[in-house]
Amino acid sequence: MEYTIVVKNLTKKFGDFTSVNNISFKVKKGEIFGLLGANGAGKTTTIRMLCGLLIPTSGMMEIAGYNVFTHGKEIRKCIGYMSQKFSLYEDLTIIENLELFGTIYNIPKKILQKRILNIIARLNIRDFANSKVLSLPLGQKQKLAFATALIHKPEIVFLDEPTSGVDPLVRRDFWNMIYESASQGITIIVTTHYMDEAEYCNRLCFMSNGKIEVIGNPNKLKEKYKVASMTEVFQKITNR
């Protein structure tokens, strides 16, 4: 079995506070891997370490077959990231944003133009293409940010609460985009605290107080705890 992400004994401390406490997990290629947990459970810290934005206190991480500590350069080329906050430039137009990130990833101009046209067509935002991102509704912005994170065709995409504050209809749309990407072999790590979204993941990882409580397929977890929904699974785990 091919694993694109291998995490071993990962720990992150901020002073006396242990945000992530000795966690280990593996993620397969093309998998949609969900990180669940209450605020402060350590989801975002984990994602930020995986992206190279935070230095772990101890532990080992392997991404796309590269050791994080020795092959950062190679890893950068094959990961995409979408942060909790909306992070495109609001005073630039949609095309300018896409061109900026495309150029930074050294995508040849012709290919980049093609990809930008595809994104605009896929998101159905042709009328907005030359207007500032500022003028887009939030749901569209989130979809655009996702598309931007995918512009260099990464092997792994990290999505940190991509759908928070977005209405259910757009969330459905967003998850369709996630499925499309996964079917193309892109590994997706997503954090969320919507329980219905948890059902969409191939595998889930429940975190609380920096530790992994349980990892498994949503259906198998429901069977294991003999309940009908993920919300109930979550309650069983937290009440344990």
Question: Which residues bind to other proteins, rule: CB under 8 A?
Answer: 48-49, 51-56, 68-69, 72-73, 75-77, 79-81, 83-92, 96, 99-101, 103-106, 148-149
CB atoms inside a 10 Å sphere around CB 59: 17
**Residue 54 vs 195, nearer CB to other proteins:** 54
**Residue 105 vs 225, nearer CB to other proteins:** 105
Minimum distance, C-beta of residue 49 to other proteins, in the bound complex (Å): 8
d(CA 50, CA 213): 19
d(CA 128, CA 133): 8
d(CA 31, CA 171): 19
Residue 113 corresponds to which amino acid?
Q
Minimum distance, C-beta of residue 220 to other proteins, in the bound complex (Å): 33
Minimum distance, C-beta of residue 157 to other proteins, in the bound complex (Å): 11
Evaluated on CA atoms 110, 116, 122, 124, the torsion sign reads negative
d(CA 146, CA 171): 12
How would you list the strands of the sheet with 211-216, edge to edge?
Answer: 79-82, 156-160, 187-192, 32-36, 203-208, 211-216
Of 112, 163, 121, 157, the C-alpha closest to 141 is 163
Minimum distance, C-beta of residue 189 to other proteins, in the bound complex (Å): 13
Minimum distance, C-beta of residue 11 to other proteins, in the bound complex (Å): 14
CB atoms inside a 10 Å sphere around CB 240: 9
**Residue 79 vs 94, nearer CB to other proteins:** 79
d(CA 146, CA 157): 9
**Residue 161 vs 197, nearer CB to other proteins:** 161
Minimum distance, C-beta of residue 206 to other proteins, in the bound complex (Å): 25
SS (H, E, C) 119-186: HHHHHCCHHHCCCEHHHCCHHHHHHHHHHHHCCCCCCEEEEECCCCCCCHHHHHHHHHHHHHHHHCCC
**Residue 68 vs 221, nearer CB to other proteins:** 68
Minimum distance, C-beta of residue 237 to other proteins, in the bound complex (Å): 30
**Residue 97 vs 208, nearer CB to other proteins:** 97
**Residue 148 vs 163, nearer CB to other proteins:** 148
